[in-house]
Amino acid sequence: MSKKLHILGICGTFMGGVAAIAKEAGFSVSGADEAVYPPMSTQLTALGIALHQGYEDTFSGSIPDNIIIGNALSRGKPIVEAILARNLPYTSGPEWLYREILQQRHVIAIAGTHGKTTTASMVAWILEYAGLKPGFLIGGIPENFDISARLGEGKIFVIEADEYDSAFFDKRSKFIHYHPRTLVINNLEFDHADIFERLGDIQKQFHHLLRIVPSNGTVIVPASDAAIQETLAQGVWTKVVYLGQEFKVESLKDDGSEFKVYYQDKEQGTVRWNLLGQHNIRNALAAIAAAHAVGVSIATALAAMPAFKNVKRRLEKKGEAHGVTVYDDFAHHPTAIATTLQGLRARIGDARLFALLELGSYTMRAGVHKAVLPASWLDADEVVIIRPHPDWGVDDLIVASKRPVTVLDTLDAIVAHFKAKTKAGDHLVVMSNKGFGGIHQQLLQAL
């Protein structure tokens, strides 16, 4: 008889992935969340996973063998208090994942502030192309697979390893639980101001991660990232592969659509693909190095890249109306905004480029990046921002910006603004790590 697993916070991307993998591994899975809605609810229901709307104490009947408590739940929640009072078995998602799934696998963990989802998706695709049938858990939906997680058949498991905390009872970063043998750190900047006070706090968590990578594993990092070098200087006991030294890349097109790869200063080949931006070239180099670390030839990795389809919500074209192209992008940090707009600008040339921002993450909503935001959108012709709540003085950006900035209060006002201002040939990028009220379709319909 299969073990019963109940997941609280099941509709989050990570928890939904854990649920799918648990089901595939033979567990009897159910779950609850405050908001049960598509697409995750649809995916989970299709897998035969029973979902419950809300967190009421649902354990009056059959008690699950284990309860995974998501990091969105805290002390004071009635369901949490009931679990503790009744001494029911509980764990965090990352801890369960390691104990039940990852412990016997070769884990490739993709960490860093930016590019985790895309790079993890690239690694999974290269391994799939090479016939290795990897398992994976990714914080987005790679279009090559159309699912965010699977158990896999091979020895290798690819995981997007974020530094957010594990649960209310375990404030360590999730990635500490994964015990990777191959670790990629793409970059390191300040983020997650709700749980970290300074960059040094984040670096400490990353160094805890470095401490558990075995000496016969591989750590892959860009040689040029000062914050990563500071972290490595605290101690590293594993072979380090430096991107920009052992692996190098030469961009052949400004928009990032063509590049050449070198290994130990020897040319390996050229990639022509559909992705945009120099940041995606850097993601690709990291993915190629990670695949190489587990035995995939560079030639095979290069051959896989032209067929890589990217991840949903990464400069994803949502449609075109009367010659205006509307994109959806997950950018939620000034660096991500800048690299996305730079890549699109290089592709579209002098065409007009509009950026529409919802400051969705806690760090952005709190105004932590206020001083550097204006520099992030220099490649846009105009920027529109929906007013954050609480308002930390977002109107100050109008004065500080070298590009025209408009701050609006409602989705209706935003749609009316772009209906009046855009014309055929324009490009409009909607940038948010939230749903933005479904504004993409509203814009396309209005246009």
| pLDDT tens across the length of the chain (447 residues) | 569 999 999 988 899 999 999 999 999 999 999 877 667 778 888 889 988 888 876 665 678 999 999 988 999 999 999 999 999 999 999 999 999 999 999 999 999 988 889 999 999 999 999 999 999 999 878 888 988 899 999 899 999 998 889 999 999 999 999 999 999 999 888 776 667 788 889 999 999 999 999 999 999 999 989 999 999 999 999 999 999 999 999 999 888 889 999 999 999 999 998 887 788 899 999 999 999 999 999 999 999 999 998 776 777 778 888 888 888 887 767 877 887 888 788 878 888 999 888 886 656 666 666 777 878 888 889 888 888 888 777 777 777 788 888 888 888 888 888 888 888 899 988 888 777 777 778 888 878
* Of 76, 12, 66, 2, residue with least CA distance to 39: 12
Let me know: does 20 contact 46? Beta carbons within 8 Å.
no
Which amino acid is it at 305? M
Return the SS3 of 189.
Answer: coil
- State residue 83's pLDDT score: 93
C-alpha 393/C-alpha 387 separation (Å) is 9
Return the half-sphere exposure (C-beta side, CA atoms, 13 A cut-off) of residue 8: 28
293 contacts: CB under 8 Å, gap ≥ 6 = 108, 182, 218, 220, 241
Q: What is the rounded (10 degree) CA torsion for 96, 102, 107, 111?
A: -10
Helix (H) or strand (E) holding 235: none
Let me know: does 218 contact 134? Beta carbons within 8 Å.
no
* Of 371, 379, 384, 389, residue with least CA distance to 411: 384
3-state helix, strand, coil in the chain (%, to 5): 35, 25, 40
Let me know: does 289 contact 239? Beta carbons within 8 Å.
no
Q: Could you give all domains of the chain from N- to C-terminal order, each with its CATH number?
A: 4-91 (3.40.50.720), 95-307 (3.40.1190.10), 316-446 (3.90.190.20)
Structure tokens at 57: 């104490």
Helix (H) or strand (E) holding 27: none
φ and ψ at residue 225, rounded to 5 degrees: -90, 110
Structure tokens at 397: 């950006």
Return the half-sphere exposure (C-beta side, CA atoms, 13 A cut-off) of residue 113: 23
Structure tokens at 436: 């933005």
Q: Residue 35, exposed/middle/buried by CB under 10 A (0-12, 13-18, 19+)? A: exposed
C-alpha 256/C-alpha 334 separation (Å) is 19
Query: Cβ of 51: how many Cβ atoms within 10 Å?
Result: 17
Q: Identify any residues that bridge with 267 across adjacent strands, giving them in sequence order.
A: 262
pTM confidence score: 0.82
C-alpha 11/C-alpha 21 separation (Å) is 14
DSSP for 137-150? E-SS-BTTTSSSEE
- State residue 128's pLDDT score: 97
C-alpha 387/C-alpha 389 separation (Å) is 7
Distance between first and last Cα of the chain:
56
The total number of residues shown for the chain amounts to: 447
C-alpha 346/C-alpha 341 separation (Å) is 9
Residue with tokens 């996305």: 340
C-alpha 194/C-alpha 361 separation (Å) is 10
